[in-house]
Amino acid sequence: MSAAERTGILAVTLTAFLWGTSGTVAALAPALSAVTIGAIAMAGGGLLQAAINVRAVRAAWPSLMQRWPTVLAGGVCVMIYPLCFYGSMRIGGVALGTVVSLASAPLFSAVIERVAEGRMFTRRWIVACALGIAGSVALALSRSESSHGDTVADSSASAWGVVLGLGAGATYAGFSWAMRRLMNQGVTRGASAGGVMGLGGVLLLPVVAVCVPSVGDHPESLGVLAYLVVVPQFLGYVLFSRGLGRIDSSTATTITLIEPAVATVLAVVVLSEAITAIGWTGIGVLAMALVVLMAPARRRGSVSVEHSSSHNGAPAVDEEVDA
């Protein structure tokens, strides 16, 4: 694994820590609906991305227009993602919504990269993805067991929660792939992030317009919204786009599976929520997934194998070969 790849992994890891603060901070504004918080946070973060990268977007405008289907697909995914994600948590419960959304994203990323680019994946990624999903499921079970006061959703609500969670996982994987695809095709990181995230922010503006009146009724929530816009959604996606410039989207979505662990620890420390032994086990398993991704590759001599996607213009990346 190259130094650039390790830098990318660290950038996405820090992203997951910032994203992991979202749930705890959002809990400080209980008067606002989950959709209101999600739409405003994502739209604000996306528009800020476009604003700081406006020069890069202008310089790359011909390239972005030439690749408009990828930009549009990414922007639509950015628009849909927060509505599905927060809707899943509201309908099916926080545990179910979080685990379905985040655990399904690496799998959707794998399918997208396999179909669109013919990319094959290493044993390292398969093991890390399996560990990440197992750890997320353990955390979800733990938080479900410790939420004694929550009303258990009926089967219909749970089913819709799963459907929306899968929609969140697919759209998260979709806009991650779109930004990475643009970078692979020679569009700068700033232009790729500004174009995709900015378009998503613009597409979310009608939803934000509908939600604004409820914010006006609860001005005490403005501080929470400002934090969510600037820290997780703006700074988080700045780091995420930097990471995507160095690693593929399936690896990035796998790393962000540690977000539930961060959210759980913060809920315990800040909101005094309980966590069971299975929850701490889940956190440990998620840490193992990150260790697997960061570990040096084993090679036979000096032989390396290129990813099969190198034919599409992306830089070839060495793949480990098991001894």
For the stretch 281-316, pLDDT in tens is 877 777 787 677 666 655 544 433 334 333 343 333
What's residue 33's pLDDT? 85
Instruction: Answer whether 173's CB lies under 8 Å from 254's CB.
Output: no
Which residues constitute the domain of residue 128?
A: 3-298
CA distances to 53, 152, 231, 274 from 93, in Å:
36, 8, 25, 17
- Position with higher pLDDT, 269 vs 70: 70
Under 8 Å CB-to-CB from 42, ≥6 apart: which residues? 78, 79, 81, 82, 200, 201, 204, 233
For the stretch 102-158, pLDDT in tens is: 777 777 887 888 788 777 777 777 887 788 778 777 766 665 555 544 444 455 656
Residue 284: inside a domain, yes or no? yes
Q: Averaging pLDDT over each range in 19-33, 34-48, 92-106, which range is the top one?
A: 34-48
Main-chain phi, psi angles of 36, to 5 degrees: -60, -50
- 161 vs 58: CA distance, rounded Å: 40
Residue 236 has pLDDT above 70, yes or no: yes
What percentage of residues in the chain have a pLDDT greater than 70? 78
Q: Are 288 and 119 in contact (CB under 8 A)?
A: no
Gap between the Cα atoms of 189 and 244, Å rounded: 8
Asked whether residue 7 is domain-assigned, the answer is yes
Total structural domains within the chain: 1
- Domain membership of residue 97 (yes or no) is yes
Residue 212 has pLDDT above 80, yes or no: yes
- Asked if 87 contacts 164 with a C-beta cutoff of 8 angstroms, the reply is yes
Does any domain span residue 311?
Answer: no
**What single DSSP character describes residue 271?**
S
Give the DSSP letter of residue 192. H
Per residue in 42-71, pLDDT tens? Answer: 999 999 999 999 999 999 999 999 999 999
Alpha carbons 246 and 12: distance in angstroms, whole number? 10
pLDDT digits (tens, 9 = 90+) for 250-267: 788 778 877 777 776 776
Asked if residue 310 belongs to a domain, the reply is no
> Tokens 């899943």 sit at which residue?
88
Return the minimum-mean-pLDDT range out of 84-88, 191-195, 286-290, 311-315. Answer: 311-315
pLDDT of residue 213 exceeding 60, the answer is yes
Q: Is residue 304 part of a domain?
A: no
pLDDT band at 202 (very low <50, low <70, confident <90, very high): very high
Q: Is residue 323 part of a domain?
A: no
Residue 197 is assigned to a structural domain of this protein: yes
**Quick check: 251 and 125 in contact, CB under 8 A?**
yes
pLDDT for the residue 43: 95
Task: Provide the H-helix boundaries in 93-188.
Answer: 94-117, 123-146, 155-184
